[in-house]
Chain A
Amino acid sequence: MTDSHTLVAERVSLGYGDRTVVEGLDLTVPPGRITAIVGANACGKSTLLRALSRLLAPSQGQVVLDGKAVHTQPTKAVARTMGLLPQSPLAPEGIAVADLVARGRSPHQRMLSRWAVADEQAVEEALGLTGTSDLVDRAVDELSGGQRQRVWIAMALAQQTDILLLDEPTTYLDICHQIEVLDLLTDLNRTRGTTIVMVLHDLNLAARYADHLVAMCGGRLLAGGRPEDVLTAATVEQVFGLRSQVVADPVSGKPMVLPIGRHHTSTPSPAHAHAAPHAR
């Protein structure tokens, strides 16, 4: 059923005020798959995510959800189809985990409606999936960074949307919690078919967890496709201006980037004839 939702950006230009961040970008989000967006700082990744989630109106082009421009659809209806976890959401002082996660049910509630069994079940399930059931009575501001991030994801899960957008869900987390969060999102994708779009900083984790990898550079879409096809030394050089070797990750077989800095290279770096024209 989730495969029926389509999310497409059609020649969108995005910016803040007079400053254009993204220009004429096309992106089709594969339904029921995990898409990761990577790129250097300030390349427009988060801006694109904000536009996909209707937070930012494109100056040109449009974002189309299920065949209709997302900005013409009612906010609440969109919020029942598509959830978003922003980079740094805020929690009011002293709010309990259970109450925060329950707020994820808002788009499913009417003004004076009572808390229903379906709401209760959605919250229970979200807490269970994120391993936060034991934290329900704790105040959110007392939690560790990893716990807090899982609680925020629980809130987004309680929303029960078929599309979930996440802006750097692994920031502030140590490696163990990063893997935990990405595994959780993969579970969600595999068991429920949730379409996931996330901005990720870590190229190797993006390559490992994404079905579809999108590389952005200077507000444009540089490459999009299977991680094996997108993540090459040439792409890394173009996107980050960084020389690297890309090898197969011995754990997953997905591409893995080994950056080549100015130090600590035991073997002379292989000559990258094709990379030279792009060097800055």
Chain B
Amino acid sequence: MSTAYATRPSPSPLRAGRRRRVASRRRAAALLGVLVLTLFALSLMVGQTFYGPGEVWRVVLGQDVPGASFTVGTLRLPRAVLGLVAGASLGIAGVTFQTMLRNPLASPDIIGISAGASAAAVVGIVVLRVDEALVSGMAIVAALVTALVIYLLAYRDGVLGTRLILIGIGIAAMLDSVVAYVIVRAAAWDLQVAMRWLTGSLNGATWGIVLPLVVAAAVLMPALLAQSRQLDLLQHGDDTASALGVRVERTRLTVIVAAVALIAFATAAAGPIAFVAFLAGPIAARVVGAGGSLMIPAALTGALLVLAADLAGQHLFGTRYPVGVITGVLGAPYLVYLLIRTNRAGGSL
């Protein structure tokens, strides 16, 4: 019996180690997935009236349940889906930028791309009074234009990096002031809208707001995932990546456009939910470990952050806070920590 085992060729240490690491990354990602599903279910169940999993499930299947059909089907479900998809979009787009620019500070919400989408959306809603579809369109165009402006301002012999981040932070500040200016001039009764465009919020989620984002995510996330191997090779520097067969500029362009569009759709639907794009990647890296693509773990972490922050903001305190206030409180200390740490490490970001 024991000899039968002994004669079987044992996997080499190389293979065993790689398998072990892949298995542990998958386990960690699966754990994140389970957490996301749990929070998603909780957001459908919990509220002023509690509905059990059975009732929620029947509503999701489209059956008519008195009371629950409206509360869960019309109010809670779009909100939960918005949290799920916006969070995942921000997470995957954030980690894409951080990986591509090899810097945790280089997330689209720090370097002004979310702010570009916000500013356009706010101008569209408050000043031009256009409808939702057009707002999404404006946000996407503005985000792409913002990304292009930052890229061009930072471009010198194709070198990106610290300069791009500093320019992005400056652009973000300018665009945030546009948002603040428009909101100050907006009608006072429109506080929900104001909060949404200042910090991001899932309030007032309807299928009309959620569906464009869901469709965009269904197209853009696979497009990003298809580039994940190339993106991982870019971490070794452009020269090494190119020597390993990566078409560097083409990969970068594809990935920028897809990630910026995701950010824009998510921002058009839920506002610039603070720091989710920035936090999701580093948290996912801690949870699953290094060596593999962080895209899926970061998407799950982003969804987790938004769903958890929204649940907490809605039910944990006496007042209801929009989701962005909670994620902002979580994200700001990390930003400060990162700035201090990078400053200690040599002062050049």
Which residues 69-96 of A sit at the B interface, judged by CB distance below 8 A? Answer: 75-76, 78-80, 82-86, 88-96
Contact B291 A159 (CB under 8 A): no
A110–B286 Cα distance when bound, in Å, is 29
Contact A120 B15 (CB under 8 A): yes
| Residue among B12, B17, B229, B232 making CB contact with A96, cutoff 8 Å | B17
Number of residues of chain A lying within 8 A (CB) of chain B: 43
Contact A86 B18 (CB under 8 A): no
Q: Give min CB distance, A218 to chain B, whole Å.
A: 21
| Residue among B237, B247, B291 making CB contact with A95, cutoff 8 Å | B291
Number of residues of chain B lying within 8 A (CB) of chain A: 30
Residue on A nearest B240 in the bound complex, by CB:
A89
Q: Give min CB distance, A101 to chain B, whole Å.
A: 9
Name the segment of A49-57, A209-217, A235-243, A253-261 touching the other chain: A49-57
Contact of A127 with B14 at beta-carbon distance under 8 Å, contacts A90-B237, A93-B290, A111-B226 already known: yes
Contact B235 A92 (CB under 8 A): yes
Main secondary structure of the interface of A (DSSP, over half): mixed
Which residues 235-259 of B sit at the A interface, judged by CB distance below 8 A? Answer: 235-240, 242-247
Which residues of chain B come closer than 8 Å to A90, judged between CB atoms?
102, 235-237, 240
Q: Does A98 contact B (CB under 8 A)?
A: yes
A82–B12 Cα distance when bound, in Å, is 29
- Encoded as 1 (CB less than 8 Å from any A CB) or 0, chain B from 131 to 165 comes to 00000000000000000000000000100000000
Q: Does B289 contact A (CB under 8 A)?
A: yes
Contact of A136 with B13 at beta-carbon distance under 8 Å, contacts A90-B102, A99-B21, A103-B236 already known: yes
Contact A106 B233 (CB under 8 A): yes
Which residues of chain B come closer than 8 Å to A137, judged between CB atoms?
13, 17
Residue on A nearest B247 in the bound complex, by CB:
A75
Contact B243 A84 (CB under 8 A): yes
Which residues of chain A come closer than 8 Å to B239, judged between CB atoms?
50, 53, 55, 84, 86, 89
Q: Give min CB distance, A194 to chain B, whole Å.
A: 15
| Residue among B157, B232, B247, B289 making CB contact with A16, cutoff 8 Å | B157
Contact B242 A75 (CB under 8 A): yes
Q: Does A197 contact B (CB under 8 A)?
A: no
Q: Give min CB distance, A154 to chain B, whole Å.
A: 11
- Of A75, A88, A127, most B-chain CB atoms within 10 Å: A75
Q: Does A124 contact B (CB under 8 A)?
A: yes
A109–B245 Cα distance when bound, in Å, is 10
Which residues 267-306 of B sit at the A interface, judged by CB distance below 8 A? Answer: 285, 289-292
Known: A99-B291, A123-B14. 19 other contacts (CB 8 A): A53-B242, A55-B239, A75-B246, A79-B244, A80-B245, A84-B239, A89-B239, A92-B232, A92-B236, A93-B285, A96-B21, A98-B17, A98-B18, A103-B244, A106-B233, A107-B245, A120-B14, A124-B14, A136-B13
Residues in chain A within 8 A of chain B (CB atoms): 16-17, 50, 53-55, 75-76, 78-80, 82-86, 88-96, 98-99, 102-104, 106-107, 109, 111, 120, 123-124, 127, 133, 136-137, 139, 159
Q: What are 23 residue pairs bridging A and B, where the CB atoms are less than 8 Å apart in the complex?
A: A55-B243, A75-B247, A78-B245, A79-B243, A83-B243, A89-B240, A90-B102, A90-B235, A90-B240, A93-B290, A94-B289, A95-B290, A96-B291, A98-B14, A99-B21, A103-B232, A103-B236, A107-B244, A107-B245, A120-B12, A120-B14, A137-B17, A159-B244
The 3 closest A-B CB pairs, nearest first, are: A94-B290, A79-B245, A107-B245
